Structure 1
């Protein structure tokens, strides 16, 4: 890259689904998934839309709960097939795509073995896991082997939200925002169990990314300082210290919310991420306009645009 060229824009939070993985009826109606389906299942159409929007590259993830229900385990043979195909797509478009392995972390040692295969043999850049499954959160013992393996391999974990039973239905009357609120609440609750468990002290190299809809985890980690002081079951480092292992993607692109994350964690912990094509695509122009209003240096802007993602997805770079 020449010095006058602008830094690349990499979308950390972006999805792909192959209809051959687990054939499902094409979604109908006006839901976000129905609207996204033609793009979600067509990588060439995604790349063309990225060209128009000025997005240089994207990180592919296919969370398990988008393929099976959030109370089901993803069959191991299907997990392997998904990761094989993600690796093939990344190899086909090496300048445009990075890949996160789909891992059902609640399958314990079997899931950890797939992490090793995905990173060592398929050369994927990190892993994507669901925040919960069937009422179990990230502090569940069966998840520990995946955290241990991720720490040993020095890779990043994307903690993706799921739609919790009960709360999702109760908030459905708010529309798509209500669904996001339910998913973000589940994501934040599970992240809090992770912070509270002491796992991040046991594996201090863990790097955990969550979408902006789970940002309440940061707020309640601060509120939990009193719980920590009074030793009410909080293990390991103080909440305000433990949350430093967290990274946030910009899903939603709301300026005051971005300022909150920057103030709390700093620009090295903020990544461009959109949840596209489930959410509408965000253009390079809009991203640049937002960053221009955040009082960042040019180096910090470059880090948020792509440098942080490149660092997190390069094992040993931290």
Structure 2
């Protein structure tokens, strides 16, 4: 049953087993967006935080007798119609894997499909990412004109599906002041609710001085930043040695390294209004953090005074969710699916994962919506 979504605050890539090296080709923004939605968007106002739409106190339309929470998916992907993915020749890839990738690529440009699946799965809001890696790979220069075009596309999608989809600004954080200016434009003029950046580029990480201006923009506006995995420099060797799973593991390694770079550089202490969201495939970093990072020592975790670093639950593995909650606390975990790559989030799949993980009702609500709601609401404080 289709339900009309509420309005959410601030509204105006892929992590899993697929390669992201792509190129841009000609096309139009309008051809990539849907006009079939019946949701009437509100008037979008971007002059100041005080004029942004506010998050409602509840989203009762999405609740069921079994659960008292709605779902905010922090980690979903879309691409504009002009996006042309690079795919290995048929002789270089298993036919079954090639077919899977082609199916994913079709979904990435099908915004209507994402909206339908959100309605069918009772997902109240999805935050959309179009990662830099997805357009330009992991090395070399990027094109600010194309990046602006992507953010305009995301703004268009967000407006057409107001209250159901919201955009994270696509930013090449490793481009310095140019990136910061685009982040500012996307947040202030286009109404994007946050930023998505790559974990690494040209083998640099979040501690690189070029990244600081973008992080400062996020902190100034109090919007969250999704730190997205990218392929490891030795991705080809990983794939040859261990297949697609090893390639994905490499992406998680880079995501975890980005987490450590933020800790090492003192970013969380220097920018207290900055909130970074990492992904479940980077969870292995927390095993190391427990032993080697002062910020996550037993004493620090006992006090509950942890950095503003969050992890999503992509994959919906109950044991992973349990570990994240036990190590970080439920207030540092958010729902995220990596749509359309990994297991889809629906009320049914998320409820099952929560129950198998042994989460309390309060922990379930925090992860499903509460923490994301709080992060999106900081902009209005």
What TM-score do you get using the length of structure 2 for normalisation? Answer: 0.75
Secondary structure of 1:113's aligned partner: helix
Displacement after TM superposition at 1:19 (Å): 2.8
For residues 296-311 of structure 1, what are the structure 2 equivalents within 5 Å?
Answer: 296-311=359-374
The runs of 5 or more residues in structure 2 that have no matched partner are 1-58
In structure 2, distance between residues paired with 1:149 and 1:2: 33
Counterpart of 1:282? 345
Taking structure 1 as reference, are residues 255 and 218 closer, same or farther at Cα in structure 2, changes over 3 Å only?
Answer: same
Q: In 2 relative to 1, CA 168–271 (structure 1 residues): closer, same or farther, beyond 3 Å? A: farther
Check whether the contact 1:13–1:276 (CA below 8 A) recurs between aligned residues. yes
Q: CA deviation at 1:148?
A: 1.5
Deviates more, 1:165-174 or 1:23-32: 23-32
- How far, CA to CA, are the matches of 2:227 and 2:215 in structure 1? 12
Q: Which residue of 1 aligns with 2:121?
A: 53
How does the TM-score come out when normalised to structure 1? 0.89
- 2:27 is matched with none
1:21-170 → structure 2 map (5 Å cutoff): 22-24=83-85, 29=95, 30-31=97-98, 32-170=100-238
Using a 3 Å threshold, how does the CA distance of structure 1 residues 25 and 180 change in structure 2: closer, same or farther?
A: closer
What is the CA distance between 1:248 and its match in structure 2? Answer: 0.7
Asked if 1 retains the 8 angstrom alpha-carbon contact of 2:199 and 2:206, the reply is: yes
State how far apart, in whole Å, the 1-side matches of 2:150 and 2:127 are.
15
Q: Secondary structure at the match of 1:175?
A: helix
Q: Distance in 2 between matches of 1:293 and 1:43?
A: 31
How far off its partner does 1:24 sit? 4.3
Q: Distance in 2 between matches of 1:99 and 1:71?
A: 24
Distance in 1 separating the partners of 2:109 and 2:211: 29
Q: Distance in 1 between matches of 2:103 and 2:245?
A: 16
- Quote the residue 1:207 is aligned against: 275
Distance (whole Å) between structure 1 residues aligned to residue 60 and residue 256 of structure 2: 41
User: Which residue is equivalent to 1:18?
Assistant: 80
RMSD: 2.2
Report deviation, 1:156: 0.6
Give the direction of change, closer, same or farther, for the CA distance of 1:2–1:110 in structure 2 (3 Å limit): closer
Residue 378 of structure 2 is aligned with which of 312, 315, 318? 315
Tell me the distance in 1 between the aligned counterparts of 2:249 and 2:279.
12
Contact 1:195 1:239 (8 Å CA) reproduced: no
Give, in angstroms, the shift of residue 317 of structure 1.
5.8
> How big is the shift at 1:243?
5.4
Q: Given the superposition, is the C-alpha separation of residues 309 and 169 from structure 1 closer, same or farther in structure 2, using an over 3 Å criterion?
A: same
- Retained in 2: the 8 A contact 1:84–1:122? yes
Q: CA deviation at 1:93?
A: 0.8
Alignment partners' CA distance in 2, 1:201 and 1:210:
18
Give the counterpart of 2:333 among 254, 266, 270: 270
In structure 2, the CA distance between the partners of 1:64 and 1:2, relative to structure 1 (3 Å rule), is: closer
Gapped regions of structure 1 (runs ≥ 5): 229-237
Corresponding position of 1:217? 285
- Please report how far the alpha carbon of residue 167 of structure 1 lies from its aligned counterpart in structure 2 after TM superposition: 4.2
Q: CA deviation at 1:306?
A: 1.5
4+ long deviations beyond 3 Å: 1-6, 22-29, 238-243, 293-297, 315-318
Matching of residue 247 in structure 1 with residue 315 in structure 2 = no
Aligned residues: 306
Q: Helix, strand or coil: the match of 1:58?
A: strand
